[in-house]
A = this chain, B = another copy of it.
Amino acid sequence: MAVLAWDQNTYMPPGGHEPRAEQLATLEKLAHARLVDPRLARMLEALEPWAAGEDPDSDDSRLVRWTRRDHEKAARVPEALAVAMAGEAARGYTAWLEARECGEFSRFRDPLARQVELRREYAACFSDAAHPYDVLLDDFEPGMTLAELRPLFDALVPALAPIVEAAAAAEVPDVLSGDFPQEAQAALLTSVLTAVGFEPGTWRLDASPHPFAVSPGPGDVRLTTRYRDDDLGYSLYSGLHEFGHGLYDANLGAPLQRTPLHHCASLGVHESQSRLWENVIGRGRPFSAWLLHRLREHLPGTYDGMDHATLYRGLNGVRRTLVRTEADETTYNLHVALRLELELALIEDRLQVDDLPAAWGDGMQRLLGVEVSSDAEGVLQDVHWAAGHFGYFPTYTLGNLMAAQLWEQVCEDLDDVDAQIERGDFAPLRGWLREHIHRHGRKYTQRELLRRATRQELGVQPYLAYLQAKLADAGVLAG
């Protein structure tokens, strides 16, 4: 399915779309049938006595435990509902594309209402859940509940307000705009990705309408990016972002291959890796010093006169904007907070789909102080809800929080990490991430991983401290 998806988004002729959708649906159906197969239930049952005597943290114990969780979760859902969710996801996606194209929310209203209804039905299959949202969240962030999530956002949002207020007022130079031929951007990005690092012959970079990373198998990582002639930052930072995802996939532990554990721990953990490379490392002081040399080498003339302080400051501007995917790392979480607030209200039936565009506008005004002038740049900007992905958005912020905590620990464990990065030696950093995060795959939950790596629980303070320190260091905030 990874190869089919990669191919679909890179090289497939347009004529292949319809059969490709059928091929993916067929594979999905076969995989689902295996997951709910009663023979799997019997196998799991037969393993119970063995599991009782086994180290609960061994690979095998965890394999049994996760397989049981996947099986039980899938088996709780009636086949008719599972099929409806899959079918409506495809239909919702098509309706969303059309609605966004012409900027009319009315075209998306019915398919979205259907998605909300289906997800409420889905959540209701798990009557033992404390909150229906827990069921949805658990699909993307296994083990996380609304009771844990809500306090994080309740602490984060008010604390971000004064930072955004102060930082958005600062004058920040525009350091990545200009006129950059695609070949030069691709050469720069390839050189950066080669330096930060995969093994040669185990990855490739292509162009696609939406950047993504996928790994069809060990030793084979595919990154994509998109090129905008007037904006070097787009290809460079989406490339670093996808590199973080790809590096995680590339380093999943070899002993876990061809098992359900050879998989990310959660979307939040995946996002912690992409955000770490894109923002914490990629917009940090030492990396920007290293990057300046690469920019001068690949784009001769453009960066000869720019000093490091200017580049570093320019990479860290904070702006109140309308579109999540183009938001800076500070305001990004406010975009996520809005989506969490709204999807929670939809699932709890406190908000009706008809009132969603207005609620979106109110929220953007309240959280970011910006006016939404069109649904295309408002409620229609994201694909997630169209495919029924409620509970997905918060994982972006979980990734941001986790990245900051991991970075604190990296700095403690690797004394010399700043100097290493500045001279382009990323191997110790990659080694740390592989050891503490990547190799474990899905063996541990996000919470377990973070505890093992940092001896801490997930919280907002490290992230806020990181943000303030960097914005001050870069000269965006008064020190």
A15 to B16, CA, bound (A): 27
The answer on a CB contact under 8 Å between A11 and B12 is: no
A300 at the interface (CB under 8 A from B): no
Name A219's contact: one of B13, B216, B220, B257 (CB within 8 Å): B13
A19 to B219, CA, bound (A): 8
Name A11's contact: one of B4, B202, B204, B218 (CB within 8 Å): B204
The answer on a CB contact under 8 Å between A220 and B12 is: yes
A23 at the interface (CB under 8 A from B): yes
A21-44 interface code vs B (CB 8 A; 1 in, 0 out): 011000000100000000000000
A355 at the interface (CB under 8 A from B): no
A16 to B220, CA, bound (A): 5
> Which chain B residue has the least Cβ–Cβ distance from A19?
B217
Name A204's contact: one of B13, B17, B202 (CB within 8 Å): B13
A6, A7, A20, A204 — which one has the most chain B CB atoms within 10 A of its CB? A7
Contacts of A7 in B (CB 8 A): 3, 6-7, 216
A53 at the interface (CB under 8 A from B): no
A18 at the interface (CB under 8 A from B): yes
The answer on a CB contact under 8 Å between B202 and A13 is: yes
Shortest Cβ gap from A128 to chain B (Å): 35
A203 at the interface (CB under 8 A from B): yes
Contacts of A220 in B (CB 8 A): 12-13, 15-16, 19-20
A16, A219, A221, A258 — which one has the most chain B CB atoms within 10 A of its CB? A16
> Which chain B residue has the least Cβ–Cβ distance from A15?
B219
A199 at the interface (CB under 8 A from B): yes
A201 at the interface (CB under 8 A from B): yes
Contacts of A203 in B (CB 8 A): 13, 15
A204, A206, A218, A220 — which one has the most chain B CB atoms within 10 A of its CB? A220
A162 at the interface (CB under 8 A from B): no
**CB contact list, A170-205 vs B, under 8 A:** 199, 201-204
The answer on a CB contact under 8 Å between A23 and B217 is: yes
A216 to B7, CA, bound (A): 11
A219 to B21, CA, bound (A): 13
A14 at the interface (CB under 8 A from B): yes
Shortest Cβ gap from A242 to chain B (Å): 15
Shortest Cβ gap from A391 to chain B (Å): 30
Contacts of A258 in B (CB 8 A): 22
The answer on a CB contact under 8 Å between A19 and B204 is: no
> Which chain B residue has the least Cβ–Cβ distance from A16?
B220
> Which chain B residue has the least Cβ–Cβ distance from A34?
B30
Contacts of A18 in B (CB 8 A): 217-219
> Which chain B residue has the least Cβ–Cβ distance from A2?
B23
> Which chain B residue has the least Cβ–Cβ distance from A11?
B204
**CB contact list, A220-269 vs B, under 8 A:** 220-221, 257-258
A11 to B201, CA, bound (A): 11
Known: A11-B204, A204-B11. A219 touches B3 (CB 8 A): no
The answer on a CB contact under 8 Å between A15 and B199 is: yes
> Which chain B residue has the least Cβ–Cβ distance from A14?
B201
The answer on a CB contact under 8 Å between B217 and A13 is: no
Shortest Cβ gap from A259 to chain B (Å): 13
- 6 contacting pairs across A/B (C-beta < 8 A): A13-B203, A13-B204, A15-B199, A15-B218, A16-B219, A20-B216
A13-B204, A15-B220, A19-B257 known; 20 other A-B pairs, CB under 8 Å? A3-B3, A6-B7, A7-B7, A7-B216, A11-B11, A13-B202, A13-B219, A14-B201, A14-B202, A16-B202, A16-B216, A16-B219, A16-B220, A18-B219, A19-B220, A20-B216, A20-B217, A22-B217, A23-B217, A30-B30
